[in-house]
């Protein structure tokens, strides 16, 4: 059922412009003096960590090993390293780490499913995902996922799925599996592929047999998928599309009547099962919003309607191009998502000349109960991304922190960070990528990806995409109590 203009105007009057949400995140401050903020914060054990008071954990200390700068008291552990660590089968860990999630493993272990964003033919990559028998979708494709088992004194890694392409983000499910997303629209015969790509696949971190004979979930559509989340109450899946020319869309998939989610159930669906729709936004006055970048004020709230996708498999025309002007709302670089606080946080990494208004990152919150989309984070264009001056740009992967607020992986220009945002809108750095993959004259630092906490909340996992390093970060995490 559509949300009418009258419904939205009534809801806006009741809730106010900000739409109060428990645990919501406010405006993201980008001032260099963000660390000087003085929110009321205490450590998990009730004491300050290493004498640092206020937002965050203090300045980042350069890493003598040249990988990861962290605050005092924090340490990291290299879990996997492309070309250095090995799978159980003896091949090297694949490269280009991306989306990741954690799961409870056997006997106290932590399991992670790690995407490898490798596009095109296998010959293009030194360390593609190995073509493990029974786990291959398209033998011509180089991407896929690995499953990593982490114990205190042991790490094991094996292939979860192979023969997929450009496995970027994805999302975990309430039933304990991982949905890996292909960020491509390559069809059979393009870029060396032998099958169509641009799908979502389910990977089970616990049951290797469940991953055999990979089958795409075609009901979720074929397009440049980025991330996906599951509404555990209503059963809807929300999916982002990272594409331009025209800009990408936010999608919602509604399961067919009588369908019940569970391990392996998605792969049993017919290709046209359920309803796939794209979003359409309008303001409290009923005015259609063509692009999310038009919102320039934190707290902006839009009502959301959903429009049926004509041809979800994009047989002749890309899904986002099947809509005429005025039918749907678009946004540039729709990237990471994370379910929390009764809805989903959605990242728009940046907007440039392809969008009505330019910015260096935004985070929205969709409330499925109210059917509203609220702007929570907005970063102005960073004037000097090469300087480590406290300005952040290009948010990408995102997670809700067990200590309050958000933790965001930076995929911007210049220096790359993991950074946090408190519920009151303060920002602070958590880590900096010190691994220069360029030259001394022209330094280059790869993006952070796959930011996610362990199930017990004690370890923050994150990846450096190139060359492909998975890191486990531990330290005196603080529970933040912000006004």
Three-state SS letters, the chain: CCCCHHHHHHHHHHHCCCCCCCCCCCCCCCCCCHHHCCCCEEECCCCCECCECCCCCCCEECCCCCCEEEECCCEEEEEEECCCCECCCCCECCCCEEEEEEEECHHHCEEEEEEECCCCEHHHCCCCCCCCCCCECCCCECEEEEEEEEECCEEEEEEEEEEECCEEEEEECCCCCEEEEEECCCCCCCCCCCCCCCCEEEECCCCHHHHCCCCCCHHHCCCEEEEEEECCCCCCEEEEECCCCCCECEEEEECCCCCCCCCCCHHHCCCCCCEEEEEEEECCCCCEECEHHHCCCCCCEEEEEEEECCCCCCCCCCHHHHCCCCCCCEECCEEEEEEECCEEEEEECCECCCCCCCECCEEEEEECCCCEEEEEEECCCCCCCCCCCCCCCCEEEEEECCCCCEEEEECCCCCCEEEEECCCCCEEEEEEECCECCCCCCCCECCEEEEEECCCCCCEEEEECCCCEEEEEECCCEEECCC
pLDDT on residue 379? 87
Burial pattern 63-76, b for ≥16 Cβ within 10 A else e, equals beeebbbbbeebeb
Is residue 433 within 8 A of residue 448, CB to CB? The reply is yes
Q: Please list the ranges in the chain whose pLDDT falls under 70.
A: 1-53, 388-390, 424-425, 480-483
Place of tokens 């599951």: 230
> What's the full length of the chain, in residues?
483
Direct distance between the N- and C-terminal alpha carbons of the chain, in angstroms, rounded to an integer: 37
Q: Residue 357: give the domain boundaries.
A: 5-480
Alpha-carbon distance of 183 to 197, in angstroms, equals: 9
Radius of gyration of the chain (CA): 21
- Copy the structure tokens of residue 147: 């499953």
Q: Are strands 288-289 and 275-282 parallel, antiparallel or unpaired?
A: antiparallel
- Copy the structure tokens of residue 295: 């919102």
The number of folded domains in the chain is 1
Alpha-carbon distance of 79 to 109, in angstroms, equals: 13
pLDDT on residue 3? 44
- Copy the structure tokens of residue 248: 């990408």
Alpha-carbon distance of 298 to 380, in angstroms, equals: 12
Is residue 461 within 8 A of residue 450, CB to CB? The reply is yes
Q: Please tell me the number of Cα atoms within 13 Å of 107 on its side-chain side.
A: 5
CATH number of the domain bearing residue 141? 2.120.10.30
* CA separation, residue 376 to residues 19, 68, 283, 344, 355 (Å): 10, 28, 16, 12, 19
Question: What is the biggest distance separating any 2 CA atoms in the chain, rounded to whole angstroms?
Answer: 62
Which residues partner with 225 through β-bridges?
A: 241
* CA separation, residue 253 to residues 171, 208, 250, 272, 308 (Å): 14, 27, 10, 11, 10
Cβ partners under 8 Å of residue 156, min gap 6: 88, 148, 149
């Amino acid at each position: 059922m559509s949300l009418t203009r009258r419904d939205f105007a009534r809801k806006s009057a009741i809730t106010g412009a900000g739409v109060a949400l428990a645990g919501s995140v406010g405006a993201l401050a980008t001032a260099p003096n963000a660390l000087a903020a003085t929110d009321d914060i205490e450590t998990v054990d009730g004491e300050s960590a290493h004498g640092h008071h206020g937002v965050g954990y203090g300045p980042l200390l350069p890493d003598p090993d040249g990988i990861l700068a962290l605050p005092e008291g924090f340490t990291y552990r290299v879990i996997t390293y492309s070309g250095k660590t090995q799978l159980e089968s003896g091949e090297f860990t694949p490269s280009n780490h991306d989306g990741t999630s954690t799961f409870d493993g056997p006997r106290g272990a932590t399991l992670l499913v790690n995407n490898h964003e490798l596009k095109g033919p296998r010959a293009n990559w030194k360390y593609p995902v190995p073509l493990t028998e029974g786990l291959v979708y398209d033998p011509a494709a180089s991407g896929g996922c690995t499953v990593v088992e982490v114990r205190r004194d042991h790490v094991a890694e094996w292939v979860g799925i192979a023969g997929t392409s450009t496995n970027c983000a994805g999302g975990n499910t309430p039933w304990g599996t991982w949905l890996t997303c292909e960020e491509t629209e390559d069809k059979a015969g393009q870029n060396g592929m032998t099958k169509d790509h641009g799908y979502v696949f389910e990977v089970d971190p616990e049951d290797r047999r469940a991953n055999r004979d990979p089958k795409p979930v075609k009901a979720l559509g074929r397009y440049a998928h980025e991330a996906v989340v599951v509404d555990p109450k209503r059963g809807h899946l929300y999916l982002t599309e990272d594409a331009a020319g025209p800009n990408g869309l936010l999608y919602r998939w509604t399961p067919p009547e009588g369908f019940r989610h569970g391990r392996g159930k998605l792969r049993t669906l017919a290709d046209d099962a359920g309803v796939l729709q794209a979003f359409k936004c309008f303001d409290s006055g009923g005015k259609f919003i063509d692009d999310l970048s038009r919102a320039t004020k934190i707290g902006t709230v839009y009502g959301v309607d959903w429009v049926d996708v004509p041809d979800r498999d994009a047989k002749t025309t890309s899904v986002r191009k099947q809509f005429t002007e005025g039918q749907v709302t678009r946004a540039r670089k729709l990237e990471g998502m994370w379910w929390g606080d009764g809805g989903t946080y959605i990242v728009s990494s940046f907007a440039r000349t392809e969008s009505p208004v330019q910015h260096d990152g935004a985070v929205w919150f969709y409330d499925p109960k109210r059917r509203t989309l609220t702007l929570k984070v907005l970063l102005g264009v960073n004037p000097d991304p090469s300087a480590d001056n406290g300005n952040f740009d290009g948010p990408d992967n995102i997670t809700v922190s067990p200590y309050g607020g958000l933790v965001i992986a930076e995929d911007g220009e210049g220096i790359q960070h993991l950074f946090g945002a408190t519920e009151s809108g303060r920002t602070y750095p958590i880590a900096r990528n010190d691994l220069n993959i360029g030259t001394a004259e022209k330094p280059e630092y790869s993006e952070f990806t796959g930011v996610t906490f362990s199930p017990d909340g004690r370890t923050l996992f994150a990846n450096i995409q190139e060359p492909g390093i998975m890191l486990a970060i531990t330290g005196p995490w603080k529970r933040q109590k912000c006004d």
